């Protein structure tokens, strides 16, 4: 890894303050949104019944659900390993698993702008991968994983046909996101795109081209690499099925009578919504999604059971974050 000092221009103090103030205001707004959503949802519930849902859960199924995270860590790390190896860096899967674990710590337990994916890219750079390549590979791996998630959502609507009449807007959103991501896969990995060549000149075309060009540059090492992309997609599909089954087991532990096909549709969309940075680590938004789906749309759970479902799943994420923090503290 290069030891040259980064070329950083130091801005005057008065130029830094507005950006810092903007970040503080944005964080405060996210805290307020999370707090407001939690307050509203809890006000709809009986706290005693939430606790009863927790204590009445099948602990064997909860434990099995938690163990599925281990499969997820390994499959994600192996997918990452394949992409790195295709570009000439054979980093052990065990190293990448530990990196994933620490990334969970950064994602969930630190009030920091350093995201888990940023840490993973940094960790690869420490192992000898150039920084730009490291970040590009992490972005490719993340993009393909999300694309696999949306494939499940679209296909699963056929398996959960009875749900479509209640959730027509979910169907529209699922198809729209899938079409956009499919187009992205084609343009980024196989075709290439220049908006300036369209017969109709669109407003902001130069800006769009500039942004998309940077994304294409990051993804270009994998352009036409059909074999590794196919294997990565297959692993991604297996990984996402594991994620969906994890949530299904939690519902079964709580005694909820919900078909597995519904989770194939709902979980991918809920994960996409939680990515939107309007709250602190998805707190409030996550609970609102689960109450809307399990209680309001399907009518298969009480508000209390939906909140218990959300907090059991999130509790596992926090526990994984703690374990990741321990690994981070003890890594050499």
232: Cβ–Cβ under 8 A, 6 or more apart, which residues?
A: 79, 82, 83, 141, 144
Contact of 34 with 284, CB cutoff 8 Å = yes
Q: What is the pLDDT of residues 47-87, one digit of tens each?
A: 999 999 999 999 999 999 999 999 999 999 999 999 999 88
Contacts of 224 (CB under 8 A, 6+ apart): 189, 190
Mean pLDDT score across all residues of the chain: 79
Q: For residue 110, what is the DSSP state? A: -
pLDDT (tens digit per residue) in 244-298: 999 999 999 999 988 887 888 788 878 878 877 788 888 899 999 999 889 887 7
> Which residue, chain included where needed, has tokens 């409030």?
284
136-178: pLDDT as tens digits: 888 888 888 888 877 776 776 655 555 555 555 666 666 777 7
What's residue 274's pLDDT? 82
Q: How many CA atoms lie within 13 A of 275 on its CB side?
A: 10
- What does the pLDDT read at residue 28? 85
pLDDT digits over 171-198, tens only? 666 677 777 767 766 666 666 555 445 4
Domain residue spans of the chain: 46-68+138-316
Handedness of CA 296, 300, 303, 308 (dihedral sign): negative
Residue 160: predicted pLDDT: 55
Tokens 């999370």, residue?
34
pLDDT on residue 156: 64
Q: Looking at residue 4, what is its pLDDT?
A: 39
Q: What pLDDT does 16 receive?
A: 42
Please give the model's pTM, rounded to 2 decimal places. Answer: 0.79
Q: Quick one: which of 143, 156, 157, 227 has its CA closest to 188? A: 143
């Amino acid at each position: 890894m290069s030891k040259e000092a980064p070329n950083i221009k130091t801005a005057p103090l008065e130029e830094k303050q507005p950006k810092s103030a903007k970040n503080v205001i944005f964080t405060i707004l996210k805290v307020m949104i999370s707090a407001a959503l939690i307050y509203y949802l809890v006000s709809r519930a009986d706290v005693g019944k939430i606790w009863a849902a927790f204590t009445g859960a099948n602990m064997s199924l909860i434990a099995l659900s938690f163990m599925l995270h281990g499969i997820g860590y390994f499959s994600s790390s192996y997918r990452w390993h394949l992409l790195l190896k295709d570009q000439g860096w054979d980093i052990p899967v065990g190293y990448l698993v530990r990196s994933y674990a620490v990334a969970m710590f950064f994602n969930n337990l630190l009030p920091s702008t350093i995201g888990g994916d940023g840490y993973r890219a940094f960790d690869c750079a420490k192992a000898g991968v150039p920084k730009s390549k490291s970040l590009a590979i992490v972005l490719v791996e993340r993009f393909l994983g999300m694309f696999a998630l949306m494939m499940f959502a679209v296909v699963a609507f056929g398996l959960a046909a009875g749900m479509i009449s209640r959730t027509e807007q979910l169907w529209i959103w699922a198809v729209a996101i899938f079409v956009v991501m499919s187009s992205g896969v084609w343009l980024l990995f196989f075709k290439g795109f220049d908006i300036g060549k369209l017969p109709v000149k669109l407003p902001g075309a130069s800006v769009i081209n500039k942004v998309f060009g940077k994304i294409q540059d990051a993804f270009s090492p994998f352009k036409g690499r059909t074999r590794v992309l196919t294997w990565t997609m297959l692993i991604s599909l297996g990984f996402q099925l594991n994620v969906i089954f994890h949530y299904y087991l939690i519902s079964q532990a709580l005694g909820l009578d919900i078909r597995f096909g519904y989770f194939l549709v709902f979980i991918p969309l809920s994960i996409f919504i939680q990515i939107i940075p309007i709250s602190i680590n998805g707190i409030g938004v996550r609970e609102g999604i689960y109450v809307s789906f399990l209680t309001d749309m399907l009518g298969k759970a009480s508000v209390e059971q939906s909140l218990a479902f959300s907090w059991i799943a999130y509790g596992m994420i926090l526990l994984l974050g703690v374990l990741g923090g321990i690994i981070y503290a003890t890594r050499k």
